[in-house]
Chain A
Amino acid sequence: MVTLKELQVEELLGPGHRLCMGCGAGIIARMTLKALTRPAIVVNATGCLEVATTIYPYTAWGVPWVHGLFENNSAIASGIETIVKANNGGKMDRDVIVFGGDGATFDIGLQALSGAFERRHDFVYVCYDNEAYMNTGIQRSGATPEGAWTTTTPVGAASPGKVGPKKDLIAIGVAHHIDYAATASTAYWSDFITKMQKAAAVEGPALIHAISPCPLGWRFPTDQTIQMGRLAVQTRYFPLYEVERGKYKLSVNPHPKPLDDFIKMQGRFKHLFQPQYADELNALRREVEQRWNALQELCQGKTPTW
């Protein structure tokens, strides 16, 4: 297990970028690059991380980096990985890291992700999940949780926020029988680094689904980003687990805090505490509970139903 002091000092994602104050994605990207032990090539989908770090003529990146389009980061990575392998006798001598937000990953880029997984390219897909299309102004995505306010699931007499649970990205990765998939939170830094290193070590595709608290989109003070990432895990809202070759294993089993501790801190859930949205609040609580119970069953080798 690595100590903080052992992490490389060199900043491969440097300052001067235009990410918001307290941005969860910036922390995820920095920590990802710190975890890696080999040189990295980064492929980045359109989104917050891409736009804010590469406004011509400035780039915040100290690694070879490419941004293509919104939905094709996995496909671009497939081409890069093939050439890297061809140039190195069929082996990878560096890591191909693919960053995508939840929009790029859960929605528009799901096809390319699926294809790259199926072809078994050697790369690590890191999804920084801020649970909405944040870069374009907080619109809902397939990763937006039950009851969340977004600009396209606003709250009104006829709408309680987003209706329906978020997609299960790890399950999608596991369905492709990839060797390693894991959730991560930067608040649990040692778990994050360990998982990133495990993912990079896999000879084949690996998936890291990292919760990326967003002060602007979730509506919380900018200094609470890490605390949000901590509460998300402690309230079982975003459980930390990994799946190695199909075997589910819980990484952190918190003595659970009430879900309200997490959701009451965020403006996007504020409306749920009004009586007319009580049903939606219960739907969110149910979603979190069912997710947790299903995860327990999976860790015991059972198949959950819902």
Chain B
Amino acid sequence: MSAKPGWRTLTRGGVITKPRSSREFLTGDWRTKKPILQESKCTNCLFCWLWCPEPAILRGPKTVSFDYNYCKGCGICSVECPVHAITMVEEA
């Protein structure tokens, strides 16, 4: 039985004092398809990063990469990539 905190220890009035605490909630298990990047094609244009609703795409020095902990597999990145560097594959 998970021990959820009682009223004495919970924050007053339901405030959440830790910014971006949702990082503890991994939405990656929502997806049925997974984006795979062909790094050699990536031009680092950043459109996928801009348009990811989560965001589950990380900026890197040469290319982007995916944060599969959160990626819900919507596929926007794959459709919008101007050089078709991203393919959606069925999750195993």
Contacts and interface: CB of A to CB of B under 8 A. Distances in A.
Interface of A: 4-5, 7, 9, 11, 14-19, 21-24, 26-27, 30-31, 34, 53-54, 56-63, 186, 189, 215, 221-227
A57 B51 contact: no
A222 B73 CA distance: 9
Task: Say which size band chain B's interface belongs to.
Answer: 35 or more
A28 to B, nearest CB: 9
B54 A26 contact: yes
6 contacts: A14-B23, A15-B23, A15-B56, A24-B53, A58-B21, A226-B80
B53 A27 contact: yes
B22 A21 contact: no
Contacts of A26: 53-54
A74 B80 CA distance: 35
Most chain B CB inside 10 Å of its own CB: which residue of A34, A63, A224: A224
Contact of A226 (B21, B22, B54, B76): B76
Given A22-B74, A59-B22, A61-B19, 16 more contacts: A4-B49, A14-B22, A15-B56, A16-B24, A17-B22, A17-B25, A17-B27, A22-B72, A23-B53, A53-B22, A58-B22, A60-B20, A222-B74, A223-B79, A225-B51, A225-B76
Contact of B76 (A22, A30, A54, A63): A22
Interface in B38-75: 45-47, 49-56, 59, 67, 69-70, 72-75
A128 B59 CA distance: 26
Kindly list the 7 A-B residue pairs having the minimum CB-CB distance in the complex, ordered from nearest.
Answer: A223-B75, A16-B22, A26-B53, A22-B74, A15-B70, A14-B20, A21-B74
A21 B24 contact: no
B80 A19 contact: no
B6 interface: no
A15 B22 contact: yes
Nearest to B58: A9
Contacts of B46: 4-5
Contacts of A34: 50
A60 B30 CA distance: 17
A17 B51 CA distance: 16
Contacts of B50: 4, 7, 31, 34, 189
Contacts of A56: 14, 16
Contacts of A23: 53
A11 B23 CA distance: 11
A4 B21 contact: no
B88 interface: yes
Contacts of A222: 74-76
B64 to A, nearest CB: 11
A32 to B, nearest CB: 12
